[in-house]
Amino acid sequence: MPKPKKTFKLISWNVNGLRAAMQKDFLGSFSKLDADVVAIQETKLQQAQLDEKMARIAGYASHWSHCEVKKGYSGVGVYTRVQPDRVVGGMDEPRFDAEGRIVEMDFGAFVFFNIYFPNGQMSEERLQYKLDFYAALFRHTDTLRRQGRSLVICGDYNTAHNAIDLANPKANENTSGFLRIERDWLDRITADGYVDTFRHFHPDTVKYSWWTYRFKARERNIGWRIDYFFVTRDLIEQGRVTEAFIDNDIPGSDHCPIGLVLHV
């Protein structure tokens, strides 16, 4: 008889500071999400600031990567109630790993990445850093893919792909996050066999995952979709991805959680 499939509910959420999120009922929201894996970005924590309440949620192990070059900046974490075979922080690229942007987990049937992609708005140098990060990351994931691994790559990509993915595309065509040179990277990975799961299941749905805190943007739903679950095409073709969603009803950050249901 065929082996029964394990169902994973995966969540990705940029919390915009975990200490701040804890004051906005992060634990209550976490409980409502009821996920097997919750990947958070922009924790803005150093190791010494990670207290027991943050690190030890009942039923979950947690794994972290912290920024080493700047306090209160970047950082990612993953809560999981399924034991991974292996956990790696970073991609063996010191220039990028020092900012604490990646946790990679091997679950056997798939390799999971939680990533906080750089923001390119600060300067030309940071924009180039962002583009270089994309190149380095997908060199790394392509190596795994050539080894026959199935991949799930989630996080805050800091780029809206197409006009449907932000409220004011024309006004933002010269803004980092919607520059043609950034969007070209999402075109490239899509052409190369990585699938934007939300857009796969909801090709015409207008829904956002981030809103500026200014101008009552969330109330008015003037947002951007910059948080994604990309997967390798084999997971789609084998029918292992059954649901992709954006949960606009969860407060506590300028981003909302996004999710994926995976059978492996």
Q: How far is CA 30 from CA 35, 62, 79, 113, 240, in A?
A: 8, 13, 10, 19, 24
* Burial track 205-243 (b if 16+ CB lie within 10 A, e otherwise): eebbbbbeeeeebbeeebbbbbbbbbbbebbeeeebbee
**Distance, CA of 80 to CA of 228 (rounded, Å):** 19
Given the residues 156, 165, 196, 227, select the one marked as catalytic: 156
Please state whether beta strands 76-80 and 61-65 pair in parallel, antiparallel, or not at all (unpaired).
Answer: antiparallel
Q: How far is CA 7 from CA 37, 181, 240, in A?
A: 11, 37, 9
Tokens of 164: 């449907």
In this structure, which amino acid lies at residue 251?
P
Is residue 192 among the annotated active site residues? no
Which residues does the annotation mark as catalytic?
A: 156
